[in-house]
Structure 1
Amino acid sequence: MALHYSPRSVLRHLPLPLIRAFMSHEGITPDALARPAWDALVEGDTGALHDAWRKLPPDRREPFEQMMRQVHELASEAGTRQMIAEGPHHRVELADTLAGIDGFHAKALWVYTYHRHVFHTARQLLAAGCPMGRFWNLTTGFDDVPFDATPGALTNLRQAVAFLYREQGRGHQCSIEQYERDGALYVFLFVDDYTHTHTAHDVRGTLTRTPLRPTFEVVYVYTPSGVAPNGVGTLDLYARGDRRWRAELRERFCEHVLHTRAPLADPARRSYHLNGLIDHSFPLTTDPARGVLSAVIRKMRVVAREDMTRRVVLEANAARTGDVYEMLDIHFPVERFPRDELLVSMVTFTIMHTPPDGDRARPLTFDVSFPDACNLKSLSPAHREVGEWCLRQWGILGDDEPGDYGGGDDGTDGGPAGAHRAA
């Protein structure tokens, strides 16, 4: 999961010569008011650099901030590996160059500056290669089904998806991008959304309201059985909206790209997706009206992506809210262990709840393990109902539709760029 973004923290990790190179490459020059402060900058003075950035004219400050946000998303070991792996597809070898650049943020900025297409493709593929979150859906059971990525097949898919969304008054325009990597197919569709009113200040500081028709993403990641780690073909689908639309989108892909029907799924399949819990801000929603008063994490088992056999169990003081995250920061400092390199494989929750016929709150403690283990089934029906309600609210229990990663109504989330699969 991406770390929290703030301009000052990003600037702290970017070398001044590389920032100057980026500005020169992009034609971003300070005006007369900002230039004295900018010319006087010295390496390591983050405060002065932050002030100089803030004083840039809006038309120059905003692309600078866009760069910082996107660079921050790829500033990790996983992001660096993805950029290096993407380079050869654009006839660029990056490994030796990036090895000589210190710091993940600096590596990402160098690629952003000099190989923008490599950067943006790597950013898309990294997010799509780690699908987890409210609007991701997994379908398994594609036994040795090849994909058809010819222009005709992809055009048919684009037109079918656009036609589907036109029923909602969206989808008037739709663009498609596809990438074949390591035997898997990644397809990104950018679909016109409803018209919004964009309110912003123009370069003169005047508040303006402008009609804006943004796009939203539909993402497919198809992994044939021949290259899948467990030998089972899978289709990951990202699409905001209710389940009916996701089912329709899945069928469109199967029809036009796989030339088959989606396999039937096991209706009894359950899955638990825990990796979002690595983030301090993960919301453990409660509802006093239902008797659910509070929820804390008492225990968390953490593993590293690079070696799944090594794991650490953090057992917190249940009386201290957030104690498990204090332990996580102590034993896994962010600078040494980027959060997108860690996975959560087991969690113990304690919920304080008041039974419908009770007069005082009682604790309910249960364990959940990735991918499909939970001891709620050994508890009373009343306790099981409370626990499962919480897991569904939190997007952890995915049993409403086979393969669903949780949630299902329209809304917003971090999107493909902020999502990662629990492995």
Structure 2
Amino acid sequence: MARHYSTKSFFRHMPNALLARYFHERNLFHKFDFAAMKEGNPSALFEAWLSLPNEQRNAMDSEFREIFDMSCDKGFTAILHEADFQFNDKAALSDFVEKLSALTNHYERAMITFLEHRNCWKVATLFYHADTLPYWRKRKNLPQKQAAVDETSIKHLETLLSEYFHYTEGRGNNCVVETYRRGELDYYFAYPEDYSRQSIEWVDGQFDCRPHNPAFEVIYVYSQKEGSIDLNFRGNYKAIEPLQGMFAQAILKLDELPPNPIDTRVYDLDPLLQKSFDFTYTPASGIESVVIRKLRLSSRVHKGDRITLEADAENDPDAVLLLLDRIKASLPMHLYHVTQVDLSASVKIDAEKPAKKVSFRITYPNSCTLKYDEVDLKLRNMLEASGVEPKELESAAA
């Protein structure tokens, strides 16, 4: 379920003592009695907040939104990953992890990190952002070379990206690339200049249009161990291979991008039509149940002919299959196969909280909306154990 931010709700979830620390460090609300304010009832603080000048509130609200975003499982994981890089002393790292883990909730963990460990904060927010992005494009078959992180190589990548977008799309006059290490992976966050825009906004109480030059994102994640690049770019699909080639040239020092082997993996979705089909998972995974919410059947004979079945699987896990049974009498099933399925999984993440609902879609031949964070990897393992998730073809034995 999507999380929605509001300042008052943020105050409600954050312990009063941490709110006091935040504001006192900014020389605000020293006379406000945070200790007397009832936890979870920030009405008085919110009134005081509204009395601040807009410019001052806007700057802090931006930080609150960032802390709010990081107040979740993915945010905490990103903090721990960056802390593992930042702390050279294993004992200090262990103390840091134990300190955060002992706190009551992720709101406290995020705020403590923001207040006390700013060296971890910025990069952790970038990792979190990358973890939430869909539609990554993987390129394999690359040599397992160490990624270059020197200033000259970074400048080279910036220049290649800037020139490409300038001459093909008329944007990208400037570009900045930042690189960070996360475990065995190298992250490259590129920010080319986008088209100039006018946004309708309030400035000092005046409603007006204001021009500005935003940036757009190109994110690379390189695995030396796998010899692969994961690319996230929300733009023209034709740009994918050139963008991969620029990384290979500037960072891996390759003369050209190696051929991309055809992905022959295929999801086998037809077994899901059988009532006897069971999803396979272990109690240790935290997965409590998996149900089919929607099926799409495509004709094997007439291209483009499709039938979509959707039912309330929350009240009856077999609702979609029961609906299918009712139409089988008039539908020649041998002329159709499953090309898309929407699933809903119930996953226990925190022993003290209700299970989380995770919805995802699989589309034939090899597309899946699951990401590669901790929870989604468990669901991918579940699909593999169930015979649905495609496996990599093993190379022939020598």
Q: What is the TM-score normalised by the length of structure 1? A: 0.63
Number of equivalences: 327
Contact 2:189 2:217 in 1 (8 A): yes
Give the letter for the 2:13 counterpart.
H
**Structure 1 counterpart of 2:42, from 39, 43, 46:** 46
Q: What is the root-mean-square deviation of aligned Cα atoms in Å?
A: 4.4
Q: Deviations over 1:156-214 (max 9, x none)?
A: 111101111112121111111101232321100111111111221122x2112211111
Determine if the alignment matches structure 1 residue 237 to structure 2 residue 231: yes
Quote the Cα distance in structure 1 between the aligned partners of 2:241 and 2:45. Answer: 49
Post-superposition offset of 1:264: 1.7
Aligned runs of 1:48-63 on 2, under 5 Å? Answer: 48-63=44-59
Which residue of 1 is the match for residue 64 of structure 2? 68
Change (3 A) 1:301 1:50: farther
Quote the Cα distance in structure 2 between the aligned partners of 1:301 and 1:68. Answer: 40
Contact 1:80 1:107 in 2 (8 A): yes
Q: Deviations over 1:355-378 (max 9, x none)?
A: xxxxxx9589xxxxxxxxxxxxx9
Give the letter for the 1:182 counterpart.
G
Q: Deviations over 1:20-48 (max 9, x none)?
A: 21123245569xxxx88989744331344
Aligned runs of 1:119-198 on 2, under 5 Å? Answer: 119-128=121-130, 130=131, 133-134=134-135, 136-167=136-167, 168-198=169-199
Which residue of 2 is the match for residue 313 of structure 1? 289
Contact 1:301 1:311 in 2 (8 A): no
Q: Deviations over 1:289-312 (max 9, x none)?
A: xxxxxxxxxx996979x944x533
Quote the Cα distance in structure 1 between the aligned partners of 2:84 and 2:149. Answer: 20
Quote the Cα distance in structure 1 between the aligned partners of 2:53 and 2:209. Answer: 20
Q: 3-state DSSP class of the match of 2:363?
A: coil
Contact 1:75 1:105 in 2 (8 A): yes
**Structure 2 counterpart of 1:79, from 68, 75, 79:** 75
User: What are the ranges of 5 or more consecutive residues in structure 2 without an aligned counterpart?
Assistant: 269-276, 295-308, 343-359, 381-398
Post-superposition offset of 1:119: 1.2
Contact 1:302 1:312 in 2 (8 A): no
Contact 1:189 1:217 in 2 (8 A): yes
**What's the % identity of the aligned pairs?**
19
Change (3 A) 1:397 1:315: closer
State the structure with more CA Rg. Answer: 2
Change (3 A) 1:321 1:404: closer
Contact 1:175 1:189 in 2 (8 A): yes
Contact 2:312 2:319 in 1 (8 A): no
Contact 2:175 2:191 in 1 (8 A): yes
Which residue of 2 is the match for residue 266 of structure 1? 262
Contact 2:201 2:209 in 1 (8 A): yes
Quote the Cα distance in structure 1 between the aligned partners of 2:253 and 2:320. Answer: 44
Post-superposition offset of 1:62: 1.8
Q: What is the TM-score normalised by the length of structure 2? A: 0.67
Q: 3-state DSSP class of the match of 2:22?
A: helix
Give the letter for the 2:160 counterpart.
A
Change (3 A) 1:220 1:197: same
Q: 3-state DSSP class of the match of 2:71?
A: coil
